[in-house]
A and B are shown apart, each in its own frame.
Chain A
Amino acid sequence: MLLDLKIEPQAQNLPLRELWAFLPIGYLFTIAIETPVLLVGLSRKVTLKQRLWCGIWLTACTYPIVVLVLPAIFMGASRVLYLTIAEIFAPVGECFLFWLAFRGNRDLEIADWIRSLAAIVVANLASFGFGEIMNHYDWWGLF
């Protein structure tokens, strides 16, 4: 999820239309990073199909907020403020959505919940790291 944060040098000033253009590309890159992490990290009591679904769905839920809404709100404002809010929002939002979707699953015990929520946070950090690398290579000319 933090993948988008690596375009932050431009994020605060990018024309709005370019944010829209980045949305699908950034999303695909993000799920390409986060889904494997979730496949490995989420509790084994969550089926493989559900873990795959989480990889696609959780990011899709928070990504438009992080890539479109927050940069538009904080356009021209402090980048640190934007980063802090986006950093907190994405993992917290995804953890909440995971709880919303699986709260009826009685097989999940406290240890499973902790493991799963930690996996979501790690997945977000991983996408951030990958975003750093992508930014280093200037997104191979995509932008």
Chain B
Amino acid sequence: MQTQTYELNMGPQHPSTHGVLRIILELDGEVVVKATPVIGYLHRGIEKICEGKTYGQTIPFTDRMDYMHSMNNNLGLCQAVEKLMGLEVPERAEYIRVIMAELSRIASHMIYAGALVNDLGGVTGFVFLIRDRERILELFNKACGARMTFNYIRIGGVQQDVPEGWVEECRRFVDDFPEMMHTYNGLIMGNEIFQARMKDIAILPPDRAVAMAASGGVLRASGVNYDVRKDDPYGIYDRFDFDVPLGTKGDNWDRFIVRMQEMEQSIRIIDQALKQMPEGPVMAKVPKVIKPPVGEVYHHVENSKGDLGYYVVSDGGMKPYRWHARRPAMVNLQLLDELCRGYKIADVVAILGTLDPVLGEVDC
């Protein structure tokens, strides 16, 4: 029987589009014929704004890009500017930066997994993940007074040293983490319906992943071993011993499980960093007015979404001449149409969840 396809707007106001993404779905019954993401609902013109700000003033804008993994966004920009200035960062600051970035990665992955489970209808999994994420946010709150947009990592170090008792509390979180993981294993990963919903859906072959410039968990789930922390170490990441979890198939399940394993690896890094962390100052001698020499720099870090790059051009003045961010979530989002075709509406939310876009970063 001849049937008609129809167009359905999923988003911008939809329970599971992770913000204000709009997907125009062309559907034949329940099957997706074409999926077109429409972005820009959260566009603030951050790159242009930053050209009118001093270098220090641009850091808060990075908080508002990928607001799930803000610490790493701060880190990337600060390291880019430091590279331009040739600035040495004190040891203790480096360690605090790593701990913060990895804690932030765990928090981001928790939101990722929680939102994904929630999109598949398992609300309880979401609540448990959020509950544990709260402890990380509390750690951030104690260190810098903010739970979401931190502005904590500054050019030349970090804003202030962690308060007394913070290291012990962080240590307790690290010690409790295996137990949390056990809960998720039982409630989420061990659930047969969840597995059936995720396995063998939306397979992304490694060559396509590379061709579409995917990065982060999406790329590694396809089996491509690429992690900026390993392949182009920045900061002091070369001092830590950790693995890069890889998927085998590149389906939804791999994209999910790779991130869950990454959380465990992050805990390993934090564990080592807490042990090695020296005493000392947390801020280098930085001039009051930051005026990097004329030149340009590209610096990239491993964000929870993928390869986050900053390109900063200085004309010798107080403000950057050009300020650009390579946003991994936006690049990964390009895969949506390719992955969704032929699957059902219910899979669209799962695929979108595994691509893990944060609209603040996609729209920037």
| A and B from one complex | no
